[in-house]
């Protein structure tokens, strides 16, 4: 029997204002006004996303840090309280179980946020591996609402309803703050490439959604003067693709390693034993055979997942894992895995778009000009 | 006429795949309906088979893509493509803005429209069909 689709606290808002789709067993908005205007709102002003469908686990105990350093590939020991890091979590073969953000709330208390599609898998994996460490792993997914407020005006928007100075929270740092008089937690992170915050409304179960709805509405109101738009999963996908961020299930999975995905910066091989370390060490020594690259179409046409990438029409060198139309660049863009000898920036390759070879250039991430867009833009 | 949120002009024929046909003598102008463009939303790419291609009723004659999705365009009639609307290459949004006008896809020299017509819908039939899609 199929399970009923899950909803978030904002279901009524979404249903009234957005086109809805099923995603990871949730009913979620794909767009309100449209993917393109929502995308551009985030790149040029500010947008808000309901990302309550994501998985969240709290990890408590004296050995939390040691436990995390065993299950994730990044080094959690460098995290000071109220700071966050991106990481992968691997299987014994070095394949990616998931990618996630870990935040250190207190010395012995961490919050992990992972993909909606992996909620059950990750929680079980954490529980299983926590036994040896005597730490408590709590699935907090259903008790917390989570919104992403992203774009150059994200801070100005949130500051209007926050009771602490958000300017003091640097990128990949976190803080406790009231938002519209509701207890909240924010981290300066996101999935768009832009400056922005991920906002957590705590202790707000679905059965009692008032606080989540209150904060959501307050953010929309506070962002009015900046031209805020509620944004759906459609814009979330085009934004992350332009920024070069992986989508689990498309660009990374259990048979892809973080090294192949270009995520070597979150693999700390100098750490003590961690799951996947041996396999990743071997791969690092032998060298990767394929690599994730960015593609920008030089001809009209939109690359889509599973389409083949060829060199000179004679040699198949890889395949597309994510592809879309870039609202900012107004052309087709993609992520693809291609054999290492061909993974050279500036090279021209062919993407077989429905059988037709179309020229594309291998480009570095992000796909936009980082001096004009994204968190590092020159103001 | 207007049914629900969708425009359904009176003088056209329709297919269940949401294409329209406007008869002009021995030729037909074809395109996608208002319902189709609203379902696709934000069309960013259109490709129609080359002029001179022979197309058969209800077989693929092209592709239309929105940001997130790819859909086939099925020819509502049988014949030979005599003209393609090349403006769509640079302005695919015309399909959203004016699906029955500037967003036309192609002109097709008809082989046997009487036969095609048997399998097409009148505006009233298409309106009823749309209503069943929406419920």
Q: How far is CA A321 from CA A7, A292, A297, A317, A336, in A?
A: 28, 9, 15, 13, 5
Q: In this complex, do B67 and A325 lie within 8 Å of one another by their Cβ atoms?
A: yes
Q: In this complex, do B67 and A324 lie within 8 Å of one another by their Cβ atoms?
A: yes
Final residue of a domain: which of A127, A154, A187?
A: A127
Same domain, A72 and A207: no
- Residues in chain B with CB shorter than 8 Å from the CB of A302 are 44-45, 65, 70
Same domain, A151 and A82: no
Judge whether B70 is closer than 8 Å to chain A, CB to CB: yes
Q: In this complex, do B41 and A324 lie within 8 Å of one another by their Cβ atoms?
A: no
Which of B41, B63, B89 is facing A34, going by the closest CB pair?
A: B41
Q: In this complex, do B41 and A327 lie within 8 Å of one another by their Cβ atoms?
A: no
In a domain, A137, yes or no: no
State the Cα–Cα distance between residues A144 and A52, nearest whole angstrom. 7
**Tell me: the pLDDT tens digits for A22-81?**
999 999 999 999 999 999 999 999 999 999 999 999 999 999 999 999 999 999 999 999
- Tell me the domain boundaries of chain B: 2-134
Same domain, A213 and A174: yes
Q: In this complex, do B68 and A302 lie within 8 Å of one another by their Cβ atoms?
A: no
Same domain, A45 and A148: yes
Judge whether A35 is closer than 8 Å to chain B, CB to CB: yes
- Which CATH number fits the domain that encloses residue A64? 3.30.70.1400
Residues making up chain A, counted from first to last: 379
In a domain, A351, yes or no: yes
Residue A2 confidence (pLDDT) above 60: no
**Statement: the pTM of the whole predicted model exceeds 0.80:** yes
Same domain, A47 and A62: no
Q: Is A282 exposed, middle or buried (0-12, 13-18, 19+ CB in 10 A)?
A: exposed
From A118, A123, A131, select the one nearest A254 (Cα to Cα).
Answer: A118
Mutation pick from B39, B42, B67 vs chain A, by most beta carbons of A within 10 Å, is B67
Q: In this complex, do A354 and B68 lie within 8 Å of one another by their Cβ atoms?
A: no
State the Cα–Cα distance between residues A342 and B14, nearest whole angstrom. 49
Same domain, A116 and A173: no
Judge whether A355 is closer than 8 Å to chain B, CB to CB: no
Shortest CA gap B118–chain A (Å)? 32
**Tell me: the pLDDT tens digits for A233-267?**
999 999 999 999 999 999 999 999 999 999 999 99
Same domain, A45 and A59: no
Residue B134 confidence (pLDDT) above 80: no
- Which CATH number fits the domain that encloses residue A317? 2.40.30.110
Model ipTM value: 0.89
User: What pLDDT is attached to residue A347?
Assistant: 97
User: What pLDDT is attached to residue A262?
Assistant: 98
Shortest CA gap B52–chain A (Å)? 19
Same domain, A29 and A171: yes
Mean pLDDT of the region B81-105: 97
Domain that holds residue A344: 289-363
Q: What percent of chain B has pLDDT over 90?
A: 96
**Domain tally, chain A:** 3
In a domain, A135, yes or no: no
Fold of B2-134: OB fold (Dihydrolipoamide Acetyltransferase, E2P) (2.40.50)
Q: Is the dihedral of CA B7, B11, B16, B20 positive or negative?
A: negative
């Amino acid at each position: 029997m199929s399970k009923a689709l899950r909803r978030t606290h904002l279901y009524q808002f979404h249903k009234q204002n957005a086109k809805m789709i099923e995603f990871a067993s949730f009913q979620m908005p794909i767009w309100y006004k449209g993917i393109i205007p929502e995308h551009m709102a985030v790149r040029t002003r500010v947008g808000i996303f309901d990302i309550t469908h994501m998985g969240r686990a709290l990890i408590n105990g004296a050995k939390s840090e040691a436990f995390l350093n065993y299950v994730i590939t990044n080094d959690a020991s460098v995290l000071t309280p109220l700071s966050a890091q991106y990481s992968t979590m691997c299987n014994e073969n070095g394949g990616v179980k998931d990618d996630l953000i870990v935040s250190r709330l207190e010395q012995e208390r961490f919050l992990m946020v992972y993909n909606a599609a992996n909620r059950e898998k990750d929680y079980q994996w954490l529980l299983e591996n926590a036994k040896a460490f005597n730490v408590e792993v709590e699935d907090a997914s259903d008790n917390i609402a989570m919104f992403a407020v992203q774009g150059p005006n994200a801070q100005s928007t949130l500051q209007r309803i926050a009771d602490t100075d958000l300017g003091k929270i640097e990128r990949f740092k976190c803080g406790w703050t009231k938002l519209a008089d509701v207890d909240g937690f924010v981290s300066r992170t996101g999935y768009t490439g832009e400056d922005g915050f991920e906002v957590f409304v705590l202790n707000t179960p679905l059965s009692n959604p008032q606080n989540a709805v209150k904060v959501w509405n307050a953010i929309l109101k506070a962002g009015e003067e900046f031209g805020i738009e509620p944004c759906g999963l459609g814009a979330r996908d085009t934004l992350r693709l332009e920024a070069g961020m992986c989508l689990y299930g498309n660009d990374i999975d259990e048979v892809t390693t973080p090294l192949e995905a270009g995520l070597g910066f979150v693999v700390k091989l100098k750490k003590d034993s961690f799951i996947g370390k041996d396999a990743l060490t071997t791969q690092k020594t032998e060298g990767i055979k394929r690599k994730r690259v960015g593609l920008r179409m030089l001809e009209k046409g939109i690359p889509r997942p599973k389409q083949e990438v060829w060199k000179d029409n004679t040699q198949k060198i890889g395949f597309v894992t994510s592809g879309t139309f870039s609202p900012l660049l107004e052309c087709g863009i993609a992520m693809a895995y291609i054999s290492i000898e061909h993974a050279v920036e500036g090279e021209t390759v062919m993407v077989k778009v429905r059988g037709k070879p179309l020229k594309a250039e291998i480009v570095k991430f992000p796909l936009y000009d980082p001096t004009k867009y994204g968190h590092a833009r020159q103001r | 006429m207007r049914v629900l949120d969708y425009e359904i002009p009176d003088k056209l024929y329709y297919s269940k795949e949401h294409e329209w046909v406007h008869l002009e003598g021995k030729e037909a102008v074809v395109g996608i309906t208002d319902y189709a463009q609203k379902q696709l939303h934000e069309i960013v790419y259109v490709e129609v088979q080359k002029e001179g291609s022979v197309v058969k009723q209800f077989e693929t004659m092209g592709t239309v893509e929105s940001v997130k999705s790819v859909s086939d365009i099925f020819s509502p009639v049988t014949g030979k493509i005599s003209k393609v609307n090349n403006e769509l290459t640079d302005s695919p949004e015309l399909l959203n803005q004016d699906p029955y006008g500037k967003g036309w896809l192609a002109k097709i020299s008809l082989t046997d429209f009487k036969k095609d017509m048997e399998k097409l819908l009148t505006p009233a039939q298409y309106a009823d069909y749309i209503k069943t899609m929406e419920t």
